[in-house]
Amino acid sequence: MVDEGLLERIKLKKKRLDGLRPFPKEALERLRENMLVSLTYNSNSIEGNSLTLSETRLVIEEGLTIGGKTLREHLEARNHVPALDAIELEVKKRKPFTEAFILYLHSLVLKGISERYAGKYRDQNTRISGSTYVSPSFHEVPALMSNFVTELNEKAEKTNPISLAATAHFELVHVHPFIDGNGRTARLFMNLVLLKTGYPITIIQRADRKQYYRVLEQAHSGKTGPFENFVARAVERSLNLYLEALESGRKKDEELISLAKAAEGTPYSQEYLSLLARKGKLDAVKIGRNWKTSKKAVREYCSLKRIGGRE
């Protein structure tokens, strides 16, 4: 379950974002380009790709080859472009989720990297690196994937989009249907779920890699709440970025500032605000390795504490 306060904040921000539609074409295109590069860099970096953010941008936007980097690393970056294009086209079709699309998405992720396994379920047993979880036998994968898609479509009408996206991501990783590319495919498929319901592209950051693996490990053992909240905070971050770029005339107390500045004149320290941000209790966004919030967000948290004593 997603924390109620966090989910309510997300719903309100989604409503604000929807109120700005139709978005200015130029601003939307610029946002999409930046989010594509960031999504590609962070998703690949989580899996060990050594291209930096600026190098990833050069590979995607300029088609350049970076000296000292492998062919696979270049292909991993380039393959995200048609993969996101395919997701956006699938959203427009307004169709139910299908196994065929998951396989197609995986084929794009591994294009030129592993033609033998691109778009095909694994034909051998495998282990998830660094995890104690033992994935199902490859013999079980087709039936598990069929059930996964059926259940996801059944849940689509009665589950909030954040929980649905987190479930889609986790269940794909839990079945671990492919020899390679499971994580990348799961993070892209999570975005399909979100985009279908009008949420922006959402990025799991490389800086949060340890926490990401930790909450996934908890989910493998049956405790899915931390992973759902982790995904929810990532969604909120994207909403913040979109609102900051698309809203004009933002009030002074809504501007994003450092936690040190936000703590001034409050009973809280920068460290305590950081803890609240990491827990999703404070409306904040992580940019790079640094959290930012607003005076308004801190004021609202203070009011909430006075009224209900919540932590």
Which residue in the block uniquely carries the two structure tokens 């996206």? 165
Which residue in the block uniquely carries the two structure tokens 């062919």? 71
Q: Is it true that the peptide bond before 22 is cis, omega within 30 degrees of 0?
A: yes
Active-site option among 106, 169, 174, 176: 176
Q: Which of 212, 306, 163, 237 is nearest to 9 (CA)?
A: 237
Report the sign of the C-alpha dihedral through residues 209, 214, 220, 223, in that order: negative
Secondary structure letter of residue 146 according to DSSP: H
Single-letter amino acid code for the residue at 128? I
Indicate the SS3 state at residue 101: helix
Encode 127-149: b = buried (16+ Cβ within 10 Å), e = exposed. Answer: ebeeeeeebeebeebeebbeebb
| Sequence-ordered list of residues with C-beta below 8 angstroms from that of 12, at least 6 positions apart, any chain | none
Burial of 40 (C-beta count, 10 Å sphere; 0-12/13-18/19+) = buried
Indicate the SS3 state at residue 290: strand
Count of Cβ atoms closer than 10 Å to residue 30 Cβ:
12
Q: Which two tokens stand for residue 279?
A: 């827990």
* DSSP β-ladder status, 284-287 and 290-293: antiparallel
Q: Is 74 one of the catalytic residues?
A: no
First to last CA, the chain: 17
- Just list the catalytic residues: 176
